[in-house]
Structure 1
């Protein structure tokens, strides 16, 4: 077994996984998994730059993670950065900060690489050999990946809960026009994804990341967030539509009062839930299998 650490730095959150991985079987024994909302992508869609306060929030989380990696004695560390840092003019400042704290350079991966890691992490534990469509709804982008045990086709498109919220939402709750604009962006992005990925040919829809897991936790009626209950839960399209309707009619304070919504997701969960609903409508999926294992697990497996 090799003790490894993987860090996934996205548009909305940064996450750490430390695990023991068997390099031949791919068995992964989790030792520490944690997430911090840092909103690295704050304003990037508008300014093209990473904001100073967003960088500082991210670096503070990196310092915390560096201590955990050292304490647990991980032999290898891989730091992967996704949508926000791909888009930013000043990403060199981000790279220098991460190297200074963790001693490794963040890999600013392509959308296709992001898709590969997401698929590997999400499907490794799923039984059977049916074709799966994996959707990873992030803060800045969404990845569509189809395959059985390996990726057959993938596409990353620039729709995510933070990007769509910053682009369209000006009222609380959002207006009908704002909701329509979000839906239109998602549909246009799915048209792009469909150029590479057959969206209606998979037997199972697998949903990843915070927007999906939060919608699942609300649908399950959990009194507090419980990853063991969310992981591999099956949420019907009717349940997703019910949650979306509830969120669309709620104010910021009303959403904040829902105990399973992380404070850092309260302002962006509406857009994230709409992305999921639109995907289910487009693909014809009657349910989504929700996975807590995702790109982070794929990153850890890749470095073992």
Structure 2
């Protein structure tokens, strides 16, 4: 099975063998390949309401490479989900036509609620025993952040998607290099208002464990852990305290883009937006009263793959 997640900042591929449907909730995917490219599909969408032609072309190039890999690996079923940038764009039909021509299947522009549920399924399967339920799962993307509360048996109690993401907040507020105190304050106020709206719908303050997903979270955790290279196996299920997240966030927001690029674990395509992503995580932890976050390398991409089971 092949899952493709096309978000505001990145496009990712997972090809995996699924377990037998009778294997139960503890069964895991058998990965054949995982790939990620930063294509910034959501470039300028918050301002223009349209997908930029050059962003669609960057996505096409990445998708063509993925399609070739799918053919080589013999994927039997493919599901591609497109998220925040595609929901917001007035020219989404151009994007859809490109995907159908390049991949041979239509993209599903999933709702924020469906995005949240897929993220929860991907994140919660395989959590260690010391990660106590109920869980607040937050998926910090480029254009939006999903909040989901649920239990270990994959039951979702509540979910919501709000328009705070690392690309959207950077484009909206953080123009300076490094951003000014006023820019950071405006971004923090915007994020806090959205987080409070989300927590009024999703009972995140009642959760026992915060699970953080996507590149902003895993990059912050990798920095906090002092890794000299990006090591998914060390990041996956690592637990980092609020104080560590706050320190990394402050450091990132005080750096220039060039200084962030020099961090060993930094993906070049994330260096300009990681400060905003870290700030979203820090504010969520503050507003939800969470003393720590457990990072997961498994997220909506895994949820998309699991949705093909059966």
Corresponding position: 1:130 with 2:133: yes
Aligned equivalent of 1:71: 72
Corresponding position: 1:218 with 2:215: no
Aligned equivalent of 1:272: 277
Contact persistence 2:143–2:168 (CA under 8 A): yes
Aligned equivalent of 1:110: 111
Aligned equivalent of 1:15: 12
Gap runs ≥5 in structure 2? none
Question: Could you list the per-position Cα deviations for residues 245-281 of structure 1 after superposition, in whole angstroms to 9, with x for gaps in the alignment?
Answer: 1112111111010010100000000000000000111
Corresponding position: 1:260 with 2:265: yes
Corresponding position: 1:50 with 2:48: no
Determine the C-alpha separation between the residues in 2 that align with 1:200 and 1:243.
23
Aligned equivalent of 2:99: 98
Among 186, 189, 203, which residue is 2:208 paired with? 203
Query: What is the DSSP-based 3-state SS (H/G/I as helix, E as strand, rest coil) of the residue aligned with 1:303?
Result: coil
Aligned equivalent of 2:183: 178
Among 140, 144, 149, which residue is 2:147 paired with? 144
Question: Could you list the per-position Cα deviations for residues 117-139 of structure 1 after superposition, in whole angstroms to 9, with x for gaps in the alignment?
Answer: 00000000014461000000000
Gap runs ≥5 in structure 1? none
Deviation at 1:23, TM superposition (A): 4.2
Deviation at 1:95, TM superposition (A): 0.3
Q: Number of aligned pairs?
A: 301
Corresponding position: 1:284 with 2:285: no
Corresponding position: 1:157 with 2:154: no
Query: What is the DSSP-based 3-state SS (H/G/I as helix, E as strand, rest coil) of the residue aligned with 1:27?
Result: coil
Query: What is the DSSP-based 3-state SS (H/G/I as helix, E as strand, rest coil) of the residue aligned with 1:98?
Result: helix
Deviation at 1:158, TM superposition (A): 0.2
Deviation at 1:284, TM superposition (A): 1.1
Q: 26-35 vs 79-88, which deviates more?
A: 26-35
Deviation at 1:195, TM superposition (A): 2.7
Where does structure 1 differ by over 2 angstroms across 4 or more consecutive aligned residues?
none
Aligned equivalent of 1:6: 3
Deviation at 1:111, TM superposition (A): 0.2
Question: Could you list the per-position Cα deviations for residues 126-153 of structure 1 after superposition, in whole angstroms to 9, with x for gaps in the alignment?
Answer: 1446100000000000000000021110
Q: 101-110 vs 190-199, which deviates more?
A: 190-199
Determine the C-alpha separation between the residues in 2 that align with 1:115 and 1:57.
26
Determine the C-alpha separation between the residues in 2 that align with 1:110 and 1:85.
10
Determine the C-alpha separation between the residues in 2 that align with 1:247 and 1:102.
37
Scaled by the length of structure 1, the TM-score of the pair is 0.97
Deviation at 1:27, TM superposition (A): 3.0
Aligned equivalent of 1:193: 198
